[in-house]
Amino acid sequence: MTGTTAPGALLIIGGGASGVILACHLLRRPEVDIRITLIERREQVGRGLAYSTDHPGHLLNVRAHSMSMFADDPEHFSRWLRHGDGPTDGGIDGFHFAQRSRYAHYLRHTLEQLAGAGDRFRRVEGECQALVETEAGVEARLADGSRHAGTTAFLAVGYDAPVSAVSVDEVVPDDTVLIRGTGLGMVDLFIALAARRHRGPIIALSRRGQLPQVHRQSAALPIDAAGVPFGAEMSQTLGWVRRLVRDAREQGRDWRDVVDGLRPHSQKLWQSWSVAQRRRFLTHLRPWWDSHRHRTAPQIAQVVEEALASGKLTVIAGRIAGEEAAAGRLRVAVRQRGSGAVRIVDVDRCFDCTGVSCHPLGSNPVLRDLVSRGGARPDALGLGLDVAGDGAVVGRDGRVSPRVYGVGPVTRAALWEITAVPDIRLQCAAMVERHLRRA
Ligand SMILES: Cc1cc2nc3c(=O)[nH]c(=O)nc-3n(C[C@H](O)[C@H](O)[C@H](O)COP(=O)(O)OP(=O)(O)OC[C@H]3O[C@@H](n4cnc5c(N)ncnc54)[C@H](O)[C@@H]3O)c2cc1C
């Protein structure tokens, strides 16, 4: 076994954006006596699912100003882009959308800088298969048989990576491609196909056919918490948001100001709803919220708009009513939204970009193991781990763990808005403060 269970021996499982941001928040407190062991199965930390792409056309969907790891130093990432390690991005302003691969580099580089040469940080490459609470603390068991002990563990294991049957490299330029999903994942795939000079038709399909909205220069509307209808029925909440948008427009502002202005309240709104209300939100409002809240960079939106105008990309609102193999192709029957008419499309390649899951009974061995031994359970809506408001993992019997915490999207059952860096960095800052008070 490696490591000790001395106070302040922290295990972080998962070295994507959440794990790295948490480690950096801890390391930037030099006065604190901690030893961090970061366990990541990928070769490189900082990539995770979101930032593992090296495609130059895959840009961040959040402006540079909001992508700093530290909310109290919002220019940290922009400064790094100007002066950091490697090639510098020219012309950076707050409204810059950097390449996602640059963001992975920023995460890695900042971690290296803060970790320095001391013994406060140790990276272990390997897959964690079990996390066991012991008398003294918690122990991570890895696929290679090694064990790592700590006083507290943070599960930053993120998304269950989607298993796609085909890779973009297998697509022939004249293939007809069907993409299920019309969100940011579809846009990523379309950008990758377009860069390969794809010639065949690309069809994107989702229930509502709603594409992500585009970013514009906007300034979050200040919204007083006293006016937020916490706990109200969905229709009442929606009416309130509509009124805010109408009033904002009358003042010459944009709906984006309202959506961004809701951000400081969205986690509390989510927490104020019953399970039934949350379910209604997920069923009826989520597609609208996601497309307005998670927007694309203007340059990406322009490529998509041009493809729509030229017919290279077609978006259909509807559902797949049936599919069958026919002469080496796939014949898909799509029942169109509204008319109910069935449209037949013959496709060569089909991709699933309907979204990512954080369900603990997916393919991640550490979560499956934790659930099977009763140390964790899925939340009532299947969004992720059942966790308390501070991220503490809730076991099968409802016991709140004093030693195991979730970080990042795995905690979305409790917070909902915890997928993007502006939310993750606040969660990490709060977790570090709470941890230091407890220690
Ligand atoms: C395609 C995409 C683009 C996005 N773009 C943006 C953006 O521009 N701006 C923004 O703010 N947000 C963006 N997001 C949101 C994104 O979720 C967060 O920014 C962040 O990546 C979440 O990181 P994570 O570390 O929690 O999860 P992940 O990215 O899923 O990382 C989890 C890490 O844990 C590791 N791991 C998992 N299980 C184990 C195990 N058992 N043992 C060892 N290691 C393990 C994985 O290998 C992985 O590296 C995007 C998300 C996606 C999917």
419 lines ligand 1 (CB under 6 A): yes
Distance 47 CA to ligand 1 centre (A): 7
**What is the pLDDT, as a whole number, of residue 420?**
96
What are phi and psi for residue 114, nearest 5 degrees? -75, -35
CATH topology for the 9-161+357-438 domain? FAD/NAD(P)-binding domain (3.50.50)
Is 236 within 8 Å of 347 (Cβ atoms)? no
**What was the pLDDT predicted at 255?**
97
168-213+300-352 shares the fold of 9-161+357-438 = yes
* pLDDT of 3: 44
Boundaries of every domain in the chain: 9-161+357-438, 168-213+300-352, 225-293
Using alpha carbons, select from 361, 375, 357, 359 the residue that is nearest to residue 141: 375
Distance in Å from the first CA to the final CA of the chain:
23
**What confidence tens digit (pLDDT) does each residue in 224-266 have?**
999 999 999 999 999 999 999 999 999 999 999 999 999 999 9
Q: At what angle do helices 17-27 and 100-115 cross, to 10 degrees?
A: 30
Cα–Cα distance measured from residue 428 to residue 120, given in angstroms and rounded to the nearest whole number: 18
Q: Which of 28-32, 41-45, 223-227 shows the lowest per-residue confidence on average (mean pLDDT)? A: 28-32
What gap in Å lies between CA 265 and CA 70, rounded to an integer?
19
pLDDT given for residue 136 in this prediction: 84
pLDDT in tens, 144-159: 999 999 999 999 999 9
Q: What is the CA radius of gyration of the chain?
A: 23
Reduced to 3 states (helix: H, G, I; strand: E, B; else coil), residue 335 is: strand
- Which atom number of ligand 1 is nearest to the Cα of residue 158? 27
Q: Is the pLDDT of residue 85 over 70?
A: no
Joined tokens for residue 424? 């993750």
Pocket-testing residue among 419, 426, 431, ligand 1, by greatest number of atoms within 8 A of Cβ: 419
Q: Is 60 in the pocket of ligand 1 (CB under 6 A)?
A: yes
86 has a pLDDT exceeding 90: no
Instruction: Reply yes or no on whether the pLDDT at 419 is more than 90.
Output: yes
**Pocket lining: 48 vs ligand 1, CB cutoff 6 Å:** yes
pLDDT of residue 4: 42
What confidence category does residue 278 fall into, taking pLDDT thresholds of 50, 70 and 90? very high
Mean pLDDT, range 415-430, rounded to an integer = 96
How many angstroms separate the CA atoms of 95 and 66, rounded? 9
* Residue 289 to residue 204: CA distance in whole angstroms: 19
Atom of ligand 1 nearest to the CA of 39: 43
pLDDT tens digits along 166-186: 688 889 999 999 999 999 999
Residue 163 has pLDDT above 60, yes or no: no
On the question of pLDDT at 5 being above 50, the answer is no
Q: Is CATH 3.50.50.60 what the domain over 168-213+300-352 is classified as, yes or no? A: yes
Is the pLDDT confidence value at 164 over 90? no
Is residue 41 within 6 Å of ligand 1 at its C-beta? yes
pLDDT of residue 343: 94
Q: Ligand 1 pocket, 50 CB below 6 A?
A: yes
Taking residues 319-337, report their average pLDDT. Answer: 93
Report pLDDT digits (tens) over 105-141: 999 999 999 999 888 999 999 999 999 998 889 999 9
Residue to probe by mutation, ligand 1, list 11, 20, 41, 62, most atoms within 8 Å of CB: 41
Ligand 1 contact, 40 CB (< 6 A): yes
With a cut of 90, say whether residue 46 has pLDDT above it: yes
Q: Is 11 in the pocket of ligand 1 (CB under 6 A)?
A: no
Q: Which residue has the tokens 């079990």?
A: 130
Confidence of residue 40 (pLDDT cuts 50, 70, 90): very high
